Chains A and B, each alone.
Chain A
Amino acid sequence: DSGVTQTPKHLITATGQRVTLRCSPRSGDLSVYWYQQSLDQGLQFLIQYYNGEERAKGNILERFSAQQFPDLHSELNLSSLELGDSALYFCASSPSTSYEQYFGPGTRLTVT
């Protein structure tokens, strides 16, 4: 158990809908990262927050957004969902950027 929690574990929704994925980092970690793993694709970095501020952006679509709250938990919002958004979404946390990242168990999103 890494100490990073993600909810929900599984999510099934229809195209065009909007969902919110939630991540609670390890106690004391200020940095939160979001990753996507689609079928046939490796891990893709989406976005990083550090102590409430956006720190780095990867291949995140404009339909996706994230935020980190004062209690350091983070949410990833996915809107206008398409079939291709079906993937495993991981959250990870670390004390800061150059430290090891601890991954949560992931949220499996299925868009039908």
Chain B
Amino acid sequence: ILNVEQSPQSLHVQEGDSTNFTCSFPSSNFYALHWYRWETAKSPEALFVMTLNGDEKKKGRISATLNTKEGYSYLYIKGSQPEDSATYLCASDNYGQNFVFGPGTRLSVLP
């Protein structure tokens, strides 16, 4: 089974700080990389789907980059707010091994 890793496991930042996390995924047979935001007691919410090497996507204060050759993606949050507190999951979709999720990065933004 292919491994998807995320770091750090958890992160505490102050309101207004910018932060970033990493998702490492298998680069072989790569098809797409998904990022999700998952608040406690809710369902995962899609942030981005990225397919091309060098892809950069942005949604408000959140952005993501993708490097398919080396198998990593970064998620950035600019000016973190308490409502950004959630677990951020990535999932790698590879041919033959679909939708393998990482363990998530749990972000707490302190007011």
Contacts and interface: CB of A to CB of B under 8 A. Distances in A.
Interface of A: 2, 33, 35, 42-45, 48, 56-58, 90, 92, 97-106
Interface of B: 31-32, 34, 43-49, 51, 89, 91, 93, 98-104
Contacts of A106: 43
* Chief secondary structure at chain B's binding surface: strand
A98 B57 CA distance: 14
Given A43-B89, A97-B32, A97-B93, A102 B98 contact: no
A33 B32 CA distance: 15
Contacts, number: 52
Contacts of A103: 43-46
Nearest to A58: B98
B102 A42 contact: yes
A100 B89 CA distance: 13
A104 B43 CA distance: 7
10 contacts: A42-B101, A45-B99, A45-B100, A57-B98, A58-B99, A97-B93, A98-B32, A101-B46, A102-B46, A103-B45
